[in-house]
Amino acid sequence: MAQERLPESFRLAFDEVCRPLADRCLDWRRDFARPARVGLCGAQGSGKSTIASATVRLLQDAGLNAVAISIDDFYLGREARAWLAQQVHRLFQVRGPPGTHDVALACTVMDHVVGPGTTPLPGFDKATDERLPKRDWRWFEGPADVVILEGWCVGARAEPVERLIPNLNPLEREQDAARVWRTQVNRALAEGYQALFNRLDRLVMLEAPSFDVVRGWRAEQEAKLRERTGFGMSEAEVSRFVQHYERITRWILEEMPERADWVMPLDAARMPVVY
């Protein structure tokens, strides 16, 4: 990967995050003497997908067979979420929170990529809000030396139940006053998602300055999408949408830094904070 081809805005992140992360992955792979499965947690808009892809490219340049997988690629389709919305709570219609991923499929993929043979890697089309047809999936030839699983809630733990009682935002107050949705999300995080996250050998965190900054990052993403395609959420719609993620994002920012294997603080411009 030629550094001179990198966007100027990404060069600091490349030098201060991607290179050190690739070095750590190399060390972990050597120390384990087996494939290293690394979780990369970063809030919405933190740049985690770009960082994961660049790190994989560095590992490939170093001669390792590496792959980045996004938890977003395992979202349930609209029909499955509509069933959850009808049977459990209407907020499950919106993809994103724990309970809206096919965790069993994610576990299967994580197990298969470290073995020999070809593994189909699912994809999700956010424009259509549906999983890609299998003919459009990526294919990975194993065994992987390093697997990076990236996502906004990767490695998250369930909240203590007493923390679920107060409403954090208007969405919870108006649509989840009985706490059915947040309780089920928390249960999913404590059960099926831990089966996935327990497969990780190491956890890396891109630490956002605050949830308010995360909200701004998502608004920037949607503004760019509107510029490029003519479609995208308004600022009011973004404000409402990120409330689905607020509880877990705040909890991650509070508790994950104490236990992650490597924490990289980011500033409001998504740049690594280097001391």
- In a domain, residue 129? The reply is yes
- In a domain, residue 89? The reply is yes
Average pLDDT over residues 48-65: 97
- In a domain, residue 274? The reply is no
pLDDT digits (tens, 9 = 90+) for 109-125: 999 999 999 999 999 99
The rounded distance, in Å, linking the Cα atoms of 209 and 257 is: 12
The rounded distance, in Å, linking the Cα atoms of 228 and 233 is: 13
Q: Tell me, what's the pLDDT at 181?
A: 98
- In a domain, residue 134? The reply is yes
CATH number of the domain at 20, please: 3.40.50.300
Task: Work out how many domains the chain is built from and give that number.
Answer: 1
Report residue 36: phi and psi, to 5°: -105, 125
Q: Tell me which residue range forms the domain holding 204.
A: 3-265
- In a domain, residue 258? The reply is yes
pLDDT digits (tens, 9 = 90+) for 1-32: 444 455 677 788 899 999 999 999 999 999 99
Q: Tell me, what's the pLDDT at 12?
A: 82
**pTM, whole model, 2 decimals?**
0.94
**Bridge partners of residue 202, in order along the sequence:** 38
